Amino acid sequence: MNAQRQRPPALWAPAAWTGSGNEQKWSRDVLLVVDGNGRWSSVTAGVSRELAQAQGAEIIAGPLLPGVIDAHSHAFQRAFAGLAERRENEHDDFWSWRDRMYRVALSVSPDALRAIAAELYTELLRGGYTHVCEFHYLHHDQDGGEYEDPLLMAWTLADAAAEAGIGLTLLPVLYERAGFAAPTLRHDQRRFATSADWVLAAQRRIAATAQPGNGEQPPLNAGVAIHSLRAASEASIARLVSGADGPIHIHVAEQMAEVDECQRVTGLRPVQWLLQRCRLDQRWQLVHATHVTNEEIDGVAKSGAGAVICPTTEANLGDGLTDVAAWLDAGAALAIGSDSHVTRDWREELRLLEYGQRLQRRARNIAAAPALQRPATAERLFARINSGSASAAGETSWGLVAGARADALVVDGEQPALLGVPLERSLDVMIFSSPSRLFADVMVAGRWVLRQGTRADDSAVARQFTQTMYSLWEQGGR
């Protein structure tokens, strides 16, 4: 067994972000015990360092945070990050970006996907994510045919996650048409083609190999996804939902063109359609949900479904801004995703989430809620994604609480931004005073997957990624 993957029986930290729901807070002198399944069996504040040492606990030098779930990822797009920032024509928007992204998708082989994903997942760990939800639609070979094993690309992602040590939820995607009025996919979408039965069969196979992370491999969960309402018929969506077990993710209301077309064809806005035609529940995760009304937000919150916001990708693509305050006030479950991976750090996602609202409203601390005893913007945002993202990943709970998976991040209290900062203000500073150092010590399912910022095979992963990037350039993938 790799030494960095060994499981300590217990940790002691001088401070830790503990609790769940509305009870999350900084606690001092915290003893956290890991059970045999890689979960916290107990989390107890007020335990002296001396007592913890006597019980054999590993002593952590700095404050402890729960790992964060990256609730929306397209791993192959890491190879495209930062490489679409030129405009050769008079106009550039989401749709022209999408055409360029398809050229990359058509160039990615299984070996290339493994190299890209292994590098990405390692970067996500350093950025404080310990679990990633992979919205996976790059299924078939470059000609659109099935591999000998139709799930070859899914297993490739699982292998890359295992190599990095990050938890993974695989979400095979239903993708059957190019638009509301299109009978089939475009030729450049040929690698994505699936039916509801194909996705259900894929989910069953993935679920059969799923693991909680209590062995050598990190956790693997299974769910399903619908690319978007424009990409699947009502009958196929109904078929998928009736047979699905676990999380159900869908891109929705990301672009106004999508909203307008949906309304023109169906008479309903996309989220309206979901609320009226589908029985939304806690399994459902509405990715982006950018162009929504207050009535739709309230409806989603009442249904128990969640919203997955991807601030840096939505800004990069010019999608627009959702009403974060309305989502918070409605009590909806919220999660964040790095999506196209122009950023791989959750602190940057939360920073931009709040700053977008400030620019739009010309006011400050939009996410804060003094009336609810949540005057700290960073703490309210972090608490909501900490509790709201569990269902997106197929987990029953999340955080530094008994029963949740033993995922944790050690905060470097010696980084310049945190020098002289009281514990109670440290989350504020981590999110709103940048840059922050990458996380050097990261635990997944009770095992250290990063220690002092490195792993034994880091150089090999980086070298393979570099070679893959050069190869994609040579193929004209961009």
Provide CB contacts within 8 A for 72, sequence distance 6+: 133, 135, 249, 287, 308, 310, 335, 336, 337, 338, 339
Give the active site residue among 70, 319, 323, 339: 339
**Sign, Cα dihedral of 104, 107, 109, 111:** negative
φ/ψ of 158, rounded to 5, equals -65, -40
Q: Which two tokens stand for residue 341?
A: 């991976």
Choosing from 136, 139, 140, 288, the catalytic residue is 288
Is 140 labeled as catalytic in the residue annotation? no
Q: φ, ψ for residue 171 (rounded to 5)?
A: -125, 85
Helix (H, G, I), strand (E, B) or coil at 251: strand
| Phi, psi angle pair for 334, to nearest 5° | -125, 145
- Nearest residue to 409 (alpha-carbon basis) of 379, 440, 385, 430: 440
> What whole-number distance in Å separates Cα of residue 284 and Cα of residue 240?
12
Is 288 noted as a catalytic residue in this protein?
A: yes
Phi-psi domain of 438 (left: phi exceeds 0; alpha: psi -120 through 50; beta: other): beta
- CA gap 49, 30 in Å, rounded: 9
DSSP string, 410-468: E--TTSGGGTT--GGGHHHHHHHS---PPPS-EEETTEEEEBTTB-TTHHHHHHHHHHH
What is d(CA 118, CA 162) in angstroms, rounded to the nearest whole number?
9
Beta carbons of 17 and 25 less than 8 angstroms apart: yes
**Catalytic residue ranges:** 288, 339
